[in-house]
Amino acid sequence: MTVTIKNKEDIQKMRVAGKLASEVLDYITNFVVPNVTTEELDRLCHDYMINNQNTIPAPLNYCPPGHTPYPKSICTSVNNQICHGIPGPKVLKKGDVINIDITVIKDGYHGDTSRMFYVGEPSIQAKRLCEITYESMWLGIKQVRPGNFLGDIGFAIQSYAEKNGYSVVREFCGHGIGQVFHEDPQVLHYGRPGQGMKLQAGMIFTIEPMINAGKKDIKMLSDGWTVVTKDRSLSAQWEHTVLVTENSYEVLTVSSGTPKPF
């Protein structure tokens, strides 16, 4: 496990990348409406990143071991899709919930963030799942400080999700991030207080819990990327990129449209 500790210059560049990633989400918000397709959302974000921000969409052709190259610039995961949904001809309809996950590269540094969006009015159950997931991400973020442990983050998320009758996806986790998209450490969204790696100032990682309304089990679709709930229950996810500061944390993926902290 080799965790990179970021210096002042790295951190400044990560602030810039994080803000830009968040600004893509601000930009796309008003386009998430009934009858839009996920590939239209992809094209809008792609063009915004390339033409407006001069950033690189990190997902495009991203090819971790055991995968085929990811074919699009963003991830769009709808309803029972947990993560890594590939934009396509799917038409969004009233009542859908969708996670849009943006990773940009600016000046060699990555900013990675996602939010949930409602297409029209959500059902009471869908709204509750999205809110509890948002709150669980924030309870995890609030555990970030030097001397605390990765297990404190996982425990805060898991205990809150399970107390509310939901389950935590185990197969995917948060990750260190910087000049590399996915680096050590792995940030599990479940765990025990005091367990796992001790946090140090200068670490940067994502916290991105995937919470299912039903059971935690997953299934991979035949496209090799889209992950869905095995029991077809709804799933939600939020993601921020977070810096460990000298005595607490700094969320790097912030912009004017970032929802208020919980």
Chain CA centroid to CA 18, Å: 12
Binding mask 113-152 vs ligand MF3 (x if CB under 6 A, - otherwise)? ----------------------------------------
Shortest separation between residue 68's beta carbon and ligand MF3, angstroms: 10
- Listing DSSP states for 139-176 in one string gives HHHTT-STT-BHHHHHHHHHHHHHHTT-EE--S--EEE
Q: Which of 36, 40, 62, 170 binds ligand MF3 (CB under 6 A)?
A: 62
Shortest separation between residue 58's beta carbon and ligand MF3, angstroms: 7
Among ligand MF3, Co ion, none, the one that 62 touches (CB under a kind-dependent 5 to 8 A) is ligand MF3
Which parts of 147-206 interact with ligand MF3 (CB under 6 A)?
206
Shortest separation between residue 121's beta carbon and ligand MF3, angstroms: 28
Shortest separation between residue 34's beta carbon and ligand MF3, angstroms: 25
CB atoms within 10 A of CB 135: 16
Rg of the chain over Cα atoms, rounded to whole angstroms, equals 17
Which parts of 168-197 interact with Co ion (CB under 5 A)?
none
How many Å from the N-terminal Cα to the C-terminal Cα in the chain? 32
